[in-house]
Structure 1
């Protein structure tokens, strides 16, 4: 069987770094679009220079490519940069892929495009997205180019693991500030995805899933959500995070966070239901993330302890 030829963007990032070895072990010939961060070349890896914000630099990068796996994005509050990378950069890449006749386009996005919630067992198409940040607004906009071209968009919610510079550090800031207790007994249900499990889903979609089935929006989350209290207890046991005792109202918890110098938006992320049904990915894509929280944190505990504590 011929090796699939896959163009990967964002290969040096948090999730891309976990995907690349899986593509190589699957026998794919990988072409990596490199911009600012270096990627170590290896067997079946080809490095090409380019910039998503410069369409001229992308000319020819999709030639002889079977699949585009678009993992690159800008995450931050700079609106102009969000638009340049997440919207226009995606549009440029889709246009180049269409020009080259690429059969399959897979994009990594985020369930943050839905907004603040609450969401319980939300299926794709149940609600209209309502993003609240420049990053999520621009990523939703960029998705539209992929979907109109017949591609697939994967939306995880919170992704954790080696290389995570946001999710568990944000949780640590929050539990350190909430000395009076978790909001509403910590009952919020959350979809958390371990990075290796997400990488496996992305690699499976890129390598194994037929193009006609790799189309539309897919939630990329485990089937079982975890409560905020479960998350805090697991982080205490596995990573040494403080264990928060007691409970308080949502409003009082927000006041406590703000008075401690933290962003009150942390409660919107961790303290409100964000539970996304991923059965469509299992049915159509063939491989949904399933690593449980305890096993996932254990696998990355040494890295987190070194980085955070």
Structure 2
């Protein structure tokens, strides 16, 4: 989406502009060519090399854990896309980035007169499943990890400030080092699917999520302030369906066998790997979230999972090929 000259005083600031989702959002904001000077800004901890920087994007440095470093980053900004978060087990780091950092960013946005902040959160805030065709207001979040607990607190701060919260589910595409790589590892370790792969899983391609963010950045009045929305592709495939797509697009093995969850986890524990039994167990129950946001704001959800996986295949092949 291209910015016109009249948008100069209403820049878009992408927080976490070199991250997986943030960098995709920047690409979506510049997909029609370089924007006018100062129209698209990216808050990063380190300015990217020239070969990695997007032409026309103004990169500014700052750290969410250092409020003083944020002063001025929101000047002449109309919309903030907050795509930065810490994901890990460090309780203090989760709090300093996800909670305190978000509050510091909101304070700077208020000082500068930013019109709207959009936070990229996660459906993980709901906690234990199963989640079957879940709507945004159907269930009170009950996060179970330090990351999801603090990201819910970040949501609360953004909503209180009149911002918008998006909860994407599993996000895949070029740059993904978790979703598809984890499935590839599990398929290598156990040649079977838990509960025969019947669980339905909501997913979204990062490029489609980025288009959604760009649409909201351009037209913040499409959604009422202080609201939360799922950002999943409308079709939630079963685990077996998605693994079959991985077989078609990436050549990964597609197991024909199914195992009861306890048997699957017992077999998984016999093999070393990065993916834990707890994480694998999440794939055995529905994590399916209804998402009507696309039609509400007139943004296409994209060509579908098969096409998006095919487009990302070169990235995944390079990542998954042993060096």
Please indicate the TM-score interval, normalised by the length of the shorter structure: over 0.9
Q: Is 1:167 matched up with 2:209? A: no
Q: Is 1:234 matched up with 2:245? A: yes
In 2, the alpha carbon distance for the partners of 1:214 and 1:110 equals: 19
Summarize deviations over 1:137-179 as a string: whole Å, max 9, x none.
1111111110101101111110001010111111111111223
Structure 2 unaligned residues grouped into runs of 5+:
none
Q: Would the aligned equivalents of 1:214 and 1:285 in 2 still touch at CA under 8 Å?
A: no
In 1, the alpha carbon distance for the partners of 2:11 and 2:190 equals: 49
Equivalent residue number for residue 30 of structure 1 = 40
Q: Is 1:306 matched up with 2:312? A: no
Structure 1 unaligned residues grouped into runs of 5+:
none
Where 2:118 maps in the other structure, the secondary structure is strand
Q: Is 1:190 matched up with 2:201? A: yes
Q: CA RMSD in A?
A: 1.8
Q: Is 1:155 matched up with 2:161? A: no
The 3 A distance-change label for structure 1 pair 214 and 207 is farther
Q: Is 1:177 matched up with 2:182? A: no
In 1, the alpha carbon distance for the partners of 2:47 and 2:155 equals: 24
Q: Is 1:124 matched up with 2:136? A: yes
Where 1:15 maps in the other structure, the secondary structure is helix
Equivalent residue number for residue 5 of structure 1 = 11
In 2, the alpha carbon distance for the partners of 1:194 and 1:266 equals: 20
Summarize deviations over 1:6-65 as a string: whole Å, max 9, x none.
111111111111111221246471121121362655554222221111111111211111
Alpha-carbon offset, residue 214 of structure 1: 5.2
Q: Would the aligned equivalents of 2:204 and 2:232 in 1 still touch at CA under 8 Å?
A: yes
Equivalent residue number for residue 94 of structure 1 = 106
Where 2:221 maps in the other structure, the secondary structure is coil
In 2, the alpha carbon distance for the partners of 1:143 and 1:252 equals: 37
The 3 A distance-change label for structure 1 pair 20 and 123 is same
The 3 A distance-change label for structure 1 pair 116 and 175 is farther
Equivalent residue number for residue 81 of structure 2 = 69
Q: Would the aligned equivalents of 1:150 and 1:215 in 2 still touch at CA under 8 Å?
A: yes
Equivalent residue number for residue 263 of structure 2 = 252
Equivalent residue number for residue 19 of structure 1 = 25
TM-score under structure 1 normalisation?
0.94
Summarize deviations over 1:249-307 as a string: whole Å, max 9, x none.
1111111112223411233332210010011x125443263441111111111111111
Q: Would the aligned equivalents of 2:194 and 2:283 in 1 still touch at CA under 8 Å?
A: no
Equivalent residue number for residue 278 of structure 2 = 265
Q: Would the aligned equivalents of 1:190 and 1:274 in 2 still touch at CA under 8 Å?
A: yes
Q: Would the aligned equivalents of 1:106 and 1:152 in 2 still touch at CA under 8 Å?
A: yes
In 2, the alpha carbon distance for the partners of 1:114 and 1:99 equals: 32
In 1, the alpha carbon distance for the partners of 2:253 and 2:225 equals: 42
The 3 A distance-change label for structure 1 pair 42 and 241 is closer
Q: Would the aligned equivalents of 1:10 and 1:33 in 2 still touch at CA under 8 Å?
A: yes
Where 1:96 maps in the other structure, the secondary structure is helix
In 1, the alpha carbon distance for the partners of 2:207 and 2:89 equals: 27
Which segment is superposed worse, 252-261 or 218-227? Answer: 252-261
Where 1:204 maps in the other structure, the secondary structure is helix
Q: Is 1:297 matched up with 2:303? A: no
In 1, the alpha carbon distance for the partners of 2:197 and 2:302 equals: 23
Equivalent residue number for residue 288 of structure 2 = 275
Which segment is superposed worse, 289-298 or 52-61? Answer: 289-298
Equivalent residue number for residue 48 of structure 1 = 60
Where 2:23 maps in the other structure, the secondary structure is helix
Q: Would the aligned equivalents of 2:27 and 2:54 in 1 still touch at CA under 8 Å?
A: no
